[in-house]
Structure 1
Amino acid sequence: MSRPVKLLSVGALTLDTILRVDTLPAHQGKFIASDAVQIASGMAASAACAARRLGAAVSLWASAGDDSVGDQLVAGIEAEGVDCSFVRRVDGTRSALASILVDAHGERIIVPFYDRRAQTDPEALPADLSAFDAVLVDVRWPGAAALALSAARAAGSPAILDADTAPLDVLKRLLPLASHIVASEPAARIVCGQALDPETACADLASRTDAFVAVTGGAAGSWWFDRSAGFVRHVAAPRIKAVDTLAAGDVFHGAFAVGLAEAMPVEQALRFASAAAALKCLRFGGRLGAPDRAETLAMMATHWPDGPKA
C-alpha cells in the first residue's frame, strides 16, 4: 500500500510482571524465578504493539490511573511507536497491574488487578474513527469497546472484537456490534453455554450473528465460518516448541486486524495472524516476542508455500 494502514486498538493497558519458573505452583510456598521482565502490556496494548511491528500506524485508546504506573505504561507503549494520545488518565485511580508466571512449557498463570473506577464508560469517542482502516477492541473496557465498534461499523471499517473470557452480559453487549468476532474457546463456550469443541462452537456462534466468526484454539489452530460455503473451515497453526504463550492471542488479534485493514482475504489474514502468534511463542517476555513483518511473511512462506503473498 502507498501508506501504512491506520489501526485503533481499544481496551486493556496493564503493567505486567512476568516471572519464568520451571513448573507452575501447585501449592503455597516460595518459588525462585529463572528470568523476569516488567513491561507495559494488556490485551489491547499488546495487540497495538504487535500491529505496529507488522507495519501499521497504531493508536491506543485505553484508561489508566493518574499514578506513576500510568506514566510508566504510556512511556512503555510509546517506545514501541504506538500513539498514546488517546489514553485517558482518571484522577484518583490506580493503573492496572498483572503478575504472571510462565513455566518451561510456555503455559502461564495470570493474576490481574483492575481499578474499576478507571474503567468507567467514556462519554465520547476520542477521535473521528473514519480516519482508521480498522478498529480492534477487547472486552476489558466495555463502554469504550461498544462506542468504537459502533462507530467503526458506521464508517464501513472492520469492527473487530477480541472476544475473550468475560462476563456473559459483556459478551452479549459487544457481540452484536462487531463486524468480525475472533473468540477464544472459553469465550465461545460462555456464549454458547456448552462444552463444545472449537469447530462446533464456531458454527454455533456464527448462527447467533451476521458477523464474521472465528474461534482460536492455540496450537490446534483456528476455525472460521465460511458463510458462502455454509460450513466451518480450519487454519492449522505452525508447529513450534513454545517457550512463552503469554500475549500470543493479543499478537494474533493485532496481526489479524492488520490483515483486514490491508484487505487481505480472510483466510490469508488468519494465516498471517497464526504465523505472528507462533513466532511470539518462541520468545519469553510476553508481547516483547512479537515478530516484525519480514519474519511473519517468512513463517507464512514456510508453512503455506502455495498460498498468496501478503
Structure 2
Amino acid sequence: MRITVVGSINLDFVATAPRLPRAGETVTGATLARHPGGKGANQALAAQRLGAEVCMIGRVGRDGMAEEAMTLLLADDVDVGGVVTDATAPTGVALIAVDPEGENQIVVAAGANHSAMPEQLPARIETPLILQLELPIETVEAAAGRATEFVCVNLAPAAAVSDQLLRRADLLVVNETEAEFYGDLLHQGGGRVVVTLGARGAVMYQRGAEIARATPPKVKAVDATGAGDCFVGAICVALLEGMEPEAALRFACAAGAIAATRPGAQPSMPTRDEVESLIS
C-alpha cells in the first residue's frame, strides 16, 4: 500500500542520564547522542519498515542538520519528494532526556516545521494519510480536508483542534494524558479511537464503546522515545491491510515494544519480520 505522512522532521539530541531532573535541577553524568526524529518522520519510517510505501511531506532548514535529520528516511527509501527546504528557518530540533528505565522528557524547537503552510500541500491527497500536531494546526486541518482516503490523526502533542478534524478522522490515536485533555470530544465522530496505555497496551473504541484491547509483549525498555510513533505507523499499516481490530492492536503493541528496547526514535523502528517473529 502507499501512505502519505504530513508531519514534522527533527534532529533529536538525546541525553541519557542517571535520572530525569526535577524543576531547576542539574543532573550530571549523561551521555549524548544525535538521531533523526520528529513525530511525522518517525511514523513515516515505521510504516515504511513495516511494509508500506510512504511519501513524506514536511519541511527542513537549509542547514547541516537537515541532511542528518533525513538520513534514515533516505536510507529506507521513503519518498521525500514532498519535503521542502526552508531558506529562513532552521531544521527542527528535539532536546530529549532519558533515564535508565526508558522514561523521557522532551522539549521541541519546531524550526522549519512551524513554517509548513497549507500552500505546500497538494490539492488532493489520494492515498491513506497520517497526521500529527507538530505542524501548524491549519496545515494539519487542510491536509485532512484534501484527503480522499483513510485519515489517521495522532492528536499529539495535545492541542485545540476543530470539530471538523475530529469528525474527518477515520482513526484517532492518543495516549492517556491526551485522552484526558480531549475527553468526550474523541468520540463525537464515527471513526475509531485508540488510547495507548504504555506497558499496559492499548484499547480501541468506536462511538465510545470498547471494541478491542491488547497488551504488549514483556520487554526491557531502554528508551521510550519514538515508541508511540512506531505504534501509530504500525496500527495504520495493520488496519489498512485488513487486520481485525484486536490483531491490529497486537501487531502495533509489539512494534512499539520493540522500539522501546532500543535507543533513539528512528533507529529503534523495527522491521516487519521482527514484529511478526515477536507475536508468532
> TM over 0.5, yes or no?
yes
Partner of 2:75: 79
Partner of 1:20: 16
Equivalences for residues 58-77 of structure 1 within 5 A:
58-77=54-73
Question: Does 2:31 match 1:57?
Answer: no
Equivalents in 2 of 1:124, 1:96: separation in Å?
17
Q: Alpha carbon RMSD of aligned pairs, Å?
A: 2.2
Equivalences for residues 126-141 of structure 1 within 5 A:
126=122, 128-130=124-126, 132=127, 134-141=128-135
Partner of 2:222: 243
Alignment counterpart, residue 290 of structure 1, candidates 259, 266, 269: 269
Q: Which has the larger radius of gyration?
A: 1
TM superposition shift of 1:116: 6.9
What TM-score does the superposition give when structure 2 sets the normalisation length? 0.90
Question: Does 2:135 match 1:167?
Answer: no
Equivalences for residues 14-163 of structure 1 within 5 A:
14-26=10-22, 27-29=24-26, 31-34=28-31, 36-115=32-111, 118-123=114-119, 125-126=121-122, 128-130=124-126, 132=127, 134-141=128-135, 142-152=137-147, 155=148, 157-163=149-155
Question: Any unmatched runs of 5+ in structure 1?
Answer: 193-203, 302-310
Q: Are the aligned partners of 1:17 and 1:98 in contact in 2 as well (CA < 8 Å)?
A: yes
Kindly provide the amino acid, as one letter, of the partner of residue 177 in structure 2: P
Q: Are the aligned partners of 2:154 and 2:172 in contact in 1 as well (CA < 8 Å)?
A: yes
Give the length in aligned residue pairs: 278
Kindly provide the amino acid, as one letter, of the partner of residue 135 in structure 1: L
1:179-228 deviations in Å (ceiling 9; x for gaps): 11111222221112xxxxxxxxxxx355322111111111111111145x
Q: 1:73 to 1:173 in 2, by over 3 A?
A: farther
Q: Are the aligned partners of 1:146 and 1:177 in contact in 2 as well (CA < 8 Å)?
A: no
Q: Are the aligned partners of 2:19 and 2:27 in contact in 1 as well (CA < 8 Å)?
A: no
Partner of 2:6: 10
Equivalents in 2 of 1:117, 1:271: separation in Å?
32
TM superposition shift of 1:112: 1.0
Q: Are the aligned partners of 2:61 and 2:88 in contact in 1 as well (CA < 8 Å)?
A: yes
Question: Any unmatched runs of 5+ in structure 2?
Answer: none
TM superposition shift of 1:274: 0.6
What TM-score does the superposition give when structure 1 sets the normalisation length? 0.82
Q: 1:71 to 1:287 in 2, by over 3 A?
A: closer
Kindly provide the amino acid, as one letter, of the partner of residue 216 in structure 1: T
Q: Are the aligned partners of 2:61 and 2:112 in contact in 1 as well (CA < 8 Å)?
A: no
Equivalents in 2 of 1:231, 1:81: separation in Å?
37
Paired-residue identity, %: 30
Kindly provide the amino acid, as one letter, of the partner of residue 33 in structure 1: A
Alignment counterpart, residue 220 of structure 1, candidates 200, 225, 229: 200
